[in-house]
Amino acid sequence: MFQEVDLSHFVAAHADGALVVDVREPHEYEAGHVPGAHLLPLGTLGHRARELPAGRPIYVVCQSGSRSRAAAAHLHQLGHDVRSLLGGIGGWISAGHPVIRGARANAA
């Protein structure tokens, strides 16, 4: 089974350079996303999952946590080491963490 992690765990992993995948829609991602997060909408996950590296933990985020749980379950079935952020990016923003606006994935 995949793991669900709380915000404090995610913050520490993010600070250590974790691979973050945002499974929301492009307009949601562009409105504000975790710095460094890569956009991979849930609807495209089936045919794009092979783009993700094997053997490295993947942190999946969405707005509130429900889409990330679905994505994490799918990626886990494919053999990935995956974690879903409880509370999603909504929790990240509410806690005052930085967000990037626009389509840039790897901005700081």
Residues forming the active site: 62
Q: In whole angstroms, what is the distance from residue 37 CA to residue 52 CA?
A: 13
Report residue 12 as tokens: 């520490």
- What's the one-letter identity of residue 69? R
Q: In whole angstroms, what is the distance from residue 57 CA to residue 99 CA?
A: 22
Residues counted in the chain: 108
Q: In whole angstroms, what is the distance from residue 102 CA to residue 54 CA?
A: 28
